[in-house]
Amino acid sequence: MGDLTGKVAIVTGAGRGLGREEALQLARQGARVVINDINLPAAVEASHATVADIKALGGEAIAVFGDCADSNDSDTLFKTTLETFGDVNIVVNNAGFCRDKTIFAMSDDEFDSVVRVHLRGHFVNMRNATKYWREKAKSAPVYGRLVSTASESMLYGTPGQPNYAAAKAGIVAMTMGAAQLMIKYGITANVIMPRARTAMTESAPSAPMFAAPEKGFDVFNPENVAPLVGYLASPESGHISGEVFIVWGGQVTVVQRPTLGTSFNSSNGGKWALDDMHKVMSTYFNESHKPVADGYSMPI
pLDDT digits (tens, 9 = 90+) for 258-277: 889 999 999 999 999 999 99
Q: Which of 153, 164, 231, 237 is catalytic?
A: 164
Question: How far from chain centre, in Å, is Cα 288?
Answer: 37
**pLDDT digits over 60-98, tens only?**
999 999 999 999 999 999 999 999 999 999 999 999 888
The residue among 91, 88, 94 whose CA lies nearest residue 117 is: 94
Q: Residue 209 half-sphere exposure, CB side, CA atoms within 13 Å?
A: 7
151 is catalytic: yes
237: number of Cβ within 10 Å? 18
**pLDDT digits over 137-152, tens only?**
999 999 999 999 999 9
15-19, 33-37, 152-156, 176-180: least confidently modelled range: 152-156
Q: Which of 7, 143, 168, 234 is catalytic?
A: 168
293 within 8 A of 300, measured Cβ to Cβ? yes
279 is catalytic: no
**pLDDT digits over 103-141, tens only?**
999 999 999 999 999 999 999 999 999 999 999 999 999
Higher pLDDT, 300 or 9: 9
Q: Which of 151, 153, 237, 241 is catalytic?
A: 151
**pLDDT digits over 217-272, tens only?**
678 889 999 999 999 999 999 999 999 999 999 999 999 998 899 999 999 999 99
Mean pLDDT of 176-201: 90
168 is catalytic: yes
Q: In the structure, what pLDDT confidence band is assigned to residue 210 with cuts at 50, 70 and 90?
A: low
pLDDT of residue 196: 77
**pLDDT digits over 52-62, tens only?**
999 999 999 99
Beta bridge partners of residue 254, listed in sequence order: 245
pLDDT of residue 209: 60
Rounded Cα–Cα distance for residues 131 and 138 (Å): 11
**pLDDT digits over 25-35, tens only?**
999 999 999 99
User: For a pLDDT cut of 70, what percent of the chain falls above it?
Assistant: 93
pLDDT greater than 80 at residue 207? no
Beta bridge partners of residue 246, listed in sequence order: 193, 253
Cβ contacts of 77 within 8 Å, gap of 6 or more = 10, 34, 36, 64, 66, 125, 128
The residue among 91, 49, 275, 68 whose CA lies nearest residue 190 is: 91
